């Protein structure tokens, strides 16, 4: 499964790129509002950091506005994907972008049927928002399972992207459901790295190493060094 970062924060993107696990980036107007500056310049820099797909979202609600914003985004870099909200106008825009060879990510998907429509219109990425469904006591992961099943069963030329991820369990469940991509806030990416037993183990290994080295350097007594090993 591909892992994208869901952020417009360049430092977060650079950090995860250095880890070697960054497959792409998604942004939206809210994430952009958190960092400010020029959206175009941020997008160009993100596209320099990662060769993977970088989603840039249109805000117009009419077809001409969506097309004009999306075409301008697509000119910024070859890996830009135009993010278009699910709606009747959004579907038309996705279809027009597909005719022009511009890739799209259909966002704000909350049902498998919406995802099916977006795939048929030509969206390369389908973004169900699982956290926001969970927030209103619906099962977000069920939409992922249904949509992945539909895409696979009918051999649709789209990938399902689990969005609105709230915690690491969402990532595991999406992966087990065969979801093609998940886009994660930086915090969730960090939470995936962490485990208290990992941290405890690293600390213990370092302490045992240092104690043993000190004893061997001082006395040369390997048996005495072994006695200092921390019990598990
Ligand atoms: O990028 C869209 C999506 O991931 C937003 O998530 O946390 O605002 O529901 P959230």
Closest among 147, 167, 145 to 156, alpha carbons compared: 147
CB 111 within 8 A of CB 129: no
Percent of the chain at pLDDT > 90 equals 93
DSSP character for 129?
A: B
Domain ranges, residue 211:
196-227
C-beta of 26 in contact with ligand 1 (< 6 A): yes
User: Does one domain contain both 11 and 80?
Assistant: yes
CB 49 within 8 A of CB 8: no
User: Does one domain contain both 97 and 131?
Assistant: yes
Global pTM? 0.94
Residue 51 lies in a domain: yes
Q: What is the distance between the alpha carbons of residues 203 and 200, in angstroms, rounded to a whole number?
A: 5
User: Does one domain contain both 218 and 172?
Assistant: no
User: Does one domain contain both 131 and 86?
Assistant: yes
Give the Å distances, CA to CA, from 23 to 5, 67, 74, 103.
8, 26, 19, 16
Ligand 1 pocket test: which of 58, 129, 162, 165 has the largest number of ligand atoms within 8 Å of its C-beta? 129
User: Does one domain contain both 202 and 181?
Assistant: no
User: Does one domain contain both 150 and 201?
Assistant: no
Mean pLDDT calculated for residue range 1-29: 97
Residue 232 lies in a domain: no
**CATH number, domain containing residue 26:** 3.20.20.70
User: Does one domain contain both 81 and 103?
Assistant: yes
Ligand 1 atom closest to the Cα of residue 28 is 1
Ligand 1 atom closest to the Cα of residue 107 is 2
- The total number of structural domains that make up the chain: 2
For the cut 90, the answer to whether the pLDDT of residue 231 exceeds it is no
User: Does one domain contain both 202 and 119?
Assistant: no
pLDDT (tens digit per residue) in 152-202: 999 999 999 999 999 999 999 999 999 999 999 999 999 999 999 999 999
Average pLDDT, the chain: 96
By alpha-carbon position, which residue is closest to atom 3 of ligand 1?
164
> What is the sign, positive or negative, of the torsion defined by CA atoms of 187, 124, 92, 155?
negative
pLDDT for 215: 92
For the cut 90, the answer to whether the pLDDT of residue 222 exceeds it is no
C-beta of 28 in contact with ligand 1 (< 6 A): yes
Question: How many alpha carbons lie under 13 Å from residue 96 in its C-beta half-sphere?
Answer: 16
Residue 148 lies in a domain: yes
């Amino acid at each position: 499964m591909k892992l994208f970062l869901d952020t417009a924060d360049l430092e977060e993107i650079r950090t995860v790129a250095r880890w070697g696990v960054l497959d792409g980036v998604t942004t939206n107007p809210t994430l952009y509002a958190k960092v400010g500056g020029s959206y175009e310049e941020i997008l160009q820099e993100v596209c320099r950091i990662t060769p993977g797909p970088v989603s840039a979202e249109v805000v117009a609600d009419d077809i001409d506005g969506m097309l004009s914003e999306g075409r301008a985004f697509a000119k910024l870099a070859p890996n830009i994907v135009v993010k278009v909200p699910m709606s009747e106008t959004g579907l038309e825009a996705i279809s027009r972008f597909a005719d022009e060879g511009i890739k799209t990510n259909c966002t704000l998907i909350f049902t498998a049927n919406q995802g099916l429509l977006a795939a048929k219109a030509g969206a390369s990425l389908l973004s169900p928002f699982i956290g926001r469904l969970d927030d209103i006591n619906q099962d977000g992961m069920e939409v992922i399972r249904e949509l992945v099943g539909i895409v696979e069963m009918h051999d649709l030329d789209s990938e399902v992207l689990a969005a609105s991820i709230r915690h690491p369990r969402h990532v595991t469940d999406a992966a087990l459901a065969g979801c093609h991509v998940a886009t994660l806030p930086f915090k969730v990416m960090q939470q995936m790295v962490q485990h208290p037993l990992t941290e405890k183990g690293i600390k213990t290994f370092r302490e045992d190493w240092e104690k043993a080295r000190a004893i061997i350097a001082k006395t040369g007594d390997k048996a005495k060094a072994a006695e200092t090993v921390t019990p598990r």
